[in-house]
Structure 1
Amino acid sequence: MRTEEGMAIVKEDMKKEREYEVNQRKYEIDEVLKLTKAQSAIDVCFLVDCTGSMSTYIDATKTQIRQLTDTIIKLHATKPHLAFVGYRDIDENIEKLDFTDDVNIFKMYLDQVNATGGDDTCEDVFSALEIIPQLSWSNPNHIIIHICDAPYHEKSYHKLQGPDADKYAKGDPKNRELSKLLLDIKRLKITYCTIQLNESTKMMFDEFAFIYGTISEMHVKDPAALMKNICITTSSCILSGIESTMSSFRTSDKTIKPYIMLNEEPYWDDFEAHTVHTIEIMYPNTMNDIFQPLFVGKGSGQIKIAPHPFTKGSLRFAFYGQFSSDGCDLVDVVFKEFISSDPRVNNLKVYQEHLEIQVIAQFLADKFNTELTTTFRTPTYIIYADADIVQQQNDTTKIYQVERRFHQA
């Protein structure tokens, strides 16, 4: 075989190998994007006091609902499922629309909901809570938007005075237990958010939070801004769900490295500096770049690292430390090391893969932040810390992800 023919065969083999790597990478990223999109789906239930004083907010929900659906579609490429539960007073009609992804059906239903009733100041919140678990919750993310201006009956939920304040001040006439109602909802992993239109509901929601845990309050003074606030809260719920899902790397207690936590930062002058190899994953310029292996920069540096971690997450230990690259001065950093003692995890390839995922996530987050800027006046941005990898030259099993501390970011 001639040299030219041999070189041609080698080049062809290299080309095929490269094509395989690119296709494999496209497949992996496509799977991540599919998972992200799937985890963006959300069920949004509007739980609303439908007595006479609430007509303004019912109308605002009706007229602004497209703002919510359009925003979720734009930011997360998914249509939210919408449900409505409206309540009034004891033995008065409950409004119920199960989940639909058709905003027109939702609006048509609200068109026939009238803000009427309410025998006294307090309302029958418990009947609405009974309905919530009966709805067809189906998406990964669940959220309740509870809009009200009056508490439930029974004096332990309010400080209202007067003969028309609470006709059932001694307790629920149907003998229902708040703890059971709320725990049935909590089992569905629903994010509970409130829009409290006055102070009369504060005691009630304090009682709710004691049983339920975190209940978020949105402050909406102007009905015209109702859906803007709901959009922000709903989007945050989706992002939290995605982050929880993507943090799928979990380690059993049996394989956790046996470190002792020590929160005190050491005196660095007493520590020897270790020489390290450094690895940097270059930030992509375009969407097409993330489907190709990202460029890797290599260098050298010096580190000082605390012997004990100061905290532990689901994935990594975090150590105080100092880092210098390419002859620069030492700066305060955090070193992160996988908590698993599994040798399949503790190698440079896995660290590099995780860093590459973080860089791609940072790139996509920047794109997302740009969209937020065009949608909200004061958006809450997603921020990822810049990070590199270091590997000690005298002990190649010592590998860390290194991040600047917040005060130096």
Structure 2
Amino acid sequence: MVLLSQELDLAFVVDGTGSMQKSIDTVRKEVNSIARAVRDRFPALCLRVAFVCYRDYNDAAPITSLDFVEFPRSASARSSVTAGGQEGDRVFQDFVAGIKADGGDDDAEDVFSGLEAAAALSWRSANRLLVHIADAPMHGQRYHTFDCTANPKRDAYPEGDKNGRSGADILDRLRRGACVTKYYFAHLNSCTQKMIDTFREECGDPDWIQSDTLSNVSQLPELIVEVCSSTVAGTLATAPVRGLGRSGRREVIRLPISRLVPDWTKEREVPVSAQKVGLPIGIYSAARLLSDVRAGKPLPLVPNSDIRTIKIAAQPFASDGVTRWPFYAVNATPSASTGSPRSQQQQQQQLVMKRFKRPSCKTEVQVHRRERYLEQMETQVVAEVLAAEFNTQARLKNVQAKEISFVPVSLLRVTESGCPEEKRWFTAEPLLQGGAFTRFSNNAGYVNANDYRATLQAFTHWTHQFSDGVLMVTDLQGVLADGRFVLTDPAVHCGEHLDRFTSTNLGEEGAKLFFQTHECNGVCKGLGLRPHPLQPSGGHRLGMVTSVGADRYYDKASP
């Protein structure tokens, strides 16, 4: 099986004027190490790389470009050759070695032509990343803060592009025309900041453009590895798997974002009915859970009388989630003891309400079905039950592991009259507080190298072994607060029931992708977890293991 989103088109767009030779040379020298580092995180990755060098209007060679070439997966498997018979990585390096930084009479450059050339490349992979490296802005005072009155040589075209092109139009050709997943800009100084701020306004989706400021060009490779990894990881959560996955990448209907918490005294109350899993965590044992999952039984549900009235923000506060929009909310249900509104308690009753994103090819009715929201809640409850058992076993074995919990989730239905059925459904959970929200891993092998912790790696490995290979909990995200992980929105891989646990269930393929990047640590060893045949061994990954029977792998008699 091939995970379609384990592929990446990476296009470098680089200012090629006189001051940029060091940056050009860095890309040439480090591109292979960048490729290796990204593949360490995504071993099955198919990587294609392109290069666009732009200068200024009147330079002898205003645009020099190389269309995508495929990089071989390893030095011993050099099958990625171009029509001329050379390997793609060598073609790329030879091309970039021939570029000499020159030209650029004034300080501003013809950035638009570079972006136009990038839009015309032969993009085709599921993940499409543009990395733009420059130390000068586009022509026009809309894009910089140069004082052109005092020094006209800073920008010979202060009124804007010589050819009358629109930044919004060019960015739209990249974002919507070429379907570039992410535009990453590396600031080499402060003079490009206004250009990127303006690009964010013009492109229609500010989150599409990501940027970092470099204190030294030597930082480039590490930053590029991270942005490549996050780009692939961002689409893997709904990655289509040939013969397996249930949903792929589709353009979603965008909603306006507001990161401000509403003034709840001005928001109206909305009546709701709520449900939750019927047995408390701890009573609903992990052993019973696994038995119910294998038998295909639904989890028991009961009414949740703690939530009967809510207040909810009109707009989501983020767009980062692959499948759902998050909304600030508060539980406005009257106190059970006094019957009075919870105005003094609302600080403790902050919620996040979540609604599915709607692909442009689907209707509201198709997307917002009760079954989908119930399935999402069920996935998180499974993770919650297993996390409680993991914590217990770690304590019993005196393993130095941080505690893991998942926030409790309820299924909510708006009950006020006149509301269409497709507008009624949400999930609700407490607002995560006490730390920076971090995506530690995803459901297809991605590991956040900076923030992933030994406990979380071990937890995912443990869920697979504890369940005898029936399921695995991945896609770990949330906060580390007061020495414990509080998580939300996990994925559950379950090969026996691919029609369960939402479209992020990649079954045995998902488990395989995790083990290909997992190296056991002290927590794994303390819990007695056995290495999987697909795991790296001694710093090297094992060969092509196509399938491992869970009953063979977890035979209790094996060492």
**Normalization by structure 1: what TM-score?**
0.62
Report the Cα offset of residue 369 of structure 1: 7.1
Query: What does residue 45 of structure 1 align with?
Result: 11
Is structure 2 residue 308 aligned with structure 1 residue 306? yes
Per-residue CA deviation, residues 171-218 of structure 1 (Å, 9 max, x unaligned), is: 433333333222212213322221121222223223322211422211
Alignment of 1:119-268 (within 5 A): 119-160=105-146, 161=148, 162-187=151-176, 188-190=178-180, 191-212=182-203, 213-214=205-206, 215-243=209-237, 248=247
1:66 to 1, 16, 32: 32
Give the residue type in structure 2 aligned to 1:150: A
Q: C-alpha separation between the residues in 1 aligned to 2:154 and 2:326?
A: 55
* Distance in 2, Cα, partners of 1:71 & 1:113: 25
**Given that residues 40 and 78 in structure 1 are in contact (C-alpha distance below 8 angstroms), is that contact kept between their aligned partners in structure 2?**
yes
Correspondences of 1:380-395 after superposition (within 5 Å): 382-383=476-477, 385=487
Alignment counterpart, residue 56 of structure 2, candidates 89, 94, 99: 89
- For 1:164, the aligned partner's letter is K
One-letter amino acid of the counterpart of residue 278, structure 1: L
Q: State how 1:71-82 maps to structure 2 within 5 Å.
A: 71-76=37-42, 77-82=44-49
Structure with the bigger RCO (C-alpha within 8 Å, sep 6+) is: 1
For the 8 Å contact 1:195–1:220, the answer to whether it is kept is: yes
Q: Which whole-Å CA distance do the structure 2 matches of 1:141 and 1:113 have between them?
A: 27
Q: Per-residue deviation at 1:242?
A: 2.5
Distance 1:275 1:148 in 2: 52
Distance 1:308 1:222 in 2: 50
Shift of residue 147, structure 1, vs aligned partner: 0.8
Q: How far is 1:42 from its partner?
A: 1.8
Deviates most, 196-205 or 137-146: 196-205
- Of 69, 94, 98, the residue aligned with 1:100 is 69
The verdict on how the C-alpha distance between 1:355 and 1:248 changes in structure 2, with shifts beyond 3 A counting, is: farther
Larger radius of gyration between Structure 1 and Structure 2: 1
Output the amino acid matched with 2:223. N
1:278 and 2:279 aligned: yes
Task: Give the SS at the match of 1:122.
Answer: coil
- Secondary structure, aligned partner of 2:153: coil
Distance 1:309 1:245, change over 3 A: farther
- Cα distance in structure 1, aligned partners of 2:373 and 2:190: 56
Shift of the 216–178 alpha-carbon distance from structure 1 to 2, 3 Å rule, reads same
Q: Deviations over 1:316-336 (max 9, x none)?
A: 9987669xxxxxxxx969697
One-letter identity of the residue aligned with 1:99: F
Deviation at 1:338, TM superposition (A): 8.0
1:73 match: secondary structure: helix
Match of 1:372 in 2: 449
Range with bigger deviation, 239-248 or 105-114: 239-248
2:186 aligns to what SS in structure 1? strand
With over 3 angstroms needed to count, the CA separation of the structure-2 counterparts of 1:176 and 1:353, relative to structure 1, is same
Whichever residue aligns with residue 89 of structure 1, its letter is D
What SS does the aligned partner of 2:237 have? helix
Note if contact 2:112-2:170 (Cα within 8 Å) is conserved in structure 1: yes
- Shift in Å, 1:111: 1.1
CA distance in 1, matches of 2:159, 2:296: 67
CA contact (8 A) 1:143 1:192 kept: yes
Task: Kindly provide the amino acid, as one letter, of the partner of residue 170 in structure 2.
Answer: L
Long gaps (5+) in structure 1: 1-29, 254-260, 265-272, 285-290, 323-330, 389-409
Over the matched positions of the two proteins, sequence identity in percent amounts to 23
Aligned 8 A contact 1:81 1:99 in 2: yes
- The structure 2 residue matched to 1:56, chosen from 4, 8, 22, is 22
Secondary structure, aligned partner of 2:162 = coil
> What SS does the corresponding residue of 1:164 show, helix, strand or coil?
helix
Considering fraction of residues, name the structure with more helix: 1
* Cα-Cα RMSD: 5.0
Alignment-mate amino acid for residue 165 of structure 1: R
Secondary structure (helix, strand or coil) at the match of 1:157 reads coil
- Alignment: residue pair count: 323
1:349 deviates by 8.3
**Alpha-carbon deviation of 1:90?**
0.9
How far apart are 1:91 and its partner, in Å?
Answer: 3.5
In the other structure, the counterpart of 2:409 is: none
1:119, distance to aligned residue in structure 2 (A): 2.1
SS of structure 1 residue aligned to 2:163: coil
Would the alpha carbon gap of residues 198 and 39 (structure 1) be closer, same or farther in structure 2, given more than 3 Å must change? same
C-alpha change, 1:220 and 1:358, in structure 2 (3 Å) is: farther
TM-score, normalised on structure 2?
Answer: 0.47
**Shift, 1:131, TM fit:** 0.8
Write the distance in 2 (CA, Å) between the matches of 1:282 and 1:63.
54
- 2:441–2:447 Cα contact (<8 Å) kept: no
Where 2:278 maps in the other structure, the secondary structure is strand
1:239 to partner: Cα distance: 1.9
CA–CA distance in structure 1, aligned partners of residues 201 and 236 of structure 2: 27
Instruction: Name whichever of 125-134 and 309-318 sits farther off.
Output: 309-318
8 Å contact 1:317–1:337 — kept in the other structure? Answer: yes
Check the 8 A contact 1:276/1:303 in 2, yes or no.
no
Unaligned runs of 5+ in 2: 72-88, 241-245, 254-261, 266-273, 288-292, 317-322, 334-347, 357-363, 387-405, 407-439, 454-474, 479-486, 491-559
Contact conserved, 1:122 with 1:152, CA < 8 A, in 2?
yes
Shift of the alpha carbon at 1:169? 3.2
Which amino acid in structure 1 is aligned with residue 50 of structure 2?
A
Alpha-carbon deviation of 1:78? Answer: 0.3
